[in-house]
Amino acid sequence: MTTRRQFVLLGAAGALLTGCDKLSLPMLSGKASFQGVDITGADYRYALPDQDGKMRTPEDFKGKVTAVFFGYVQCPDVCPTTLAELAQVKKLLGPDGERVQAVFITVDPERDTPELLKAYVQSFDPTFLALRGSLEQTMATAKDFKVFFAKAPGKTPESYTVDHSAGTYLFDAQGRVRLFERYGAGAQVLASDVKALLASG
């Protein structure tokens, strides 16, 4: 699939979610309650260069909730859907959306160049970041997060797809991983949990 066609599909995926702009979030009081899987205490970390060559770690985003997701540019469905949902989360949160950072870690460093990654993630939101390491760094990071990925052969050597785990990891404003959000949870569930993490400091 060409990059141009891919971006057209991405725009369509984002358009499907625009009707959620006015949805209200559930009010939270007292102790934070989460809809995602609470993985507080897990030691999941990354240290990879972003699309501009700057090394990034969770500590870079203290003060924000970070949404970390593994995928690749030519992913036909899971990746564009997730990135569109994360863009929608920022809108649902209003001013607090500025305190959300999406981090996309490519599992296809062979084809996903920094330039391509930058254009891809920023087609959803100009603040989104993409991280790209060597294959060895990518494998080590995926192992830390317990993420699976593997090439699936295509009709030509260059047309392979990549099977990979789906889901989003939320880091709190202190740079600690706190929640795993299953793929398909939806923008409103994600926004509710992000709001709870922001409120908890």
User: Does the pTM of the predicted model rise above 0.75?
Assistant: yes
For residue 174, the surrounding DSSP H or E stretch is none
pLDDT in tens, the chain (201 residues): 444 344 434 444 443 333 333 334 444 344 568 999 999 999 999 999 999 999 999 999 999 999 999 999 999 999 999 999 999 999 999 999 999 999 999 999 999 999 999 999 999 999 999 999 999 999 999 999 999 999 999 898 888 999 999 999 999 999 999 999 999 999 999 999 999 999 987
Q: What's the angle, vertex CA 15, arms to CA 9 and CA 18, rounded to 5?
A: 155
- Closest by alpha carbon to 149, among 179, 118, 109? 109
The CATH number assigned to the domain with range 3-18+36-200 reads 3.40.30.10
- Closest by alpha carbon to 119, among 111, 128, 110? 128
106 has which bridge partners? Answer: 71
Q: With contact defined as beta carbons under 8 Å apart, do 71 and 82 qualify? A: yes
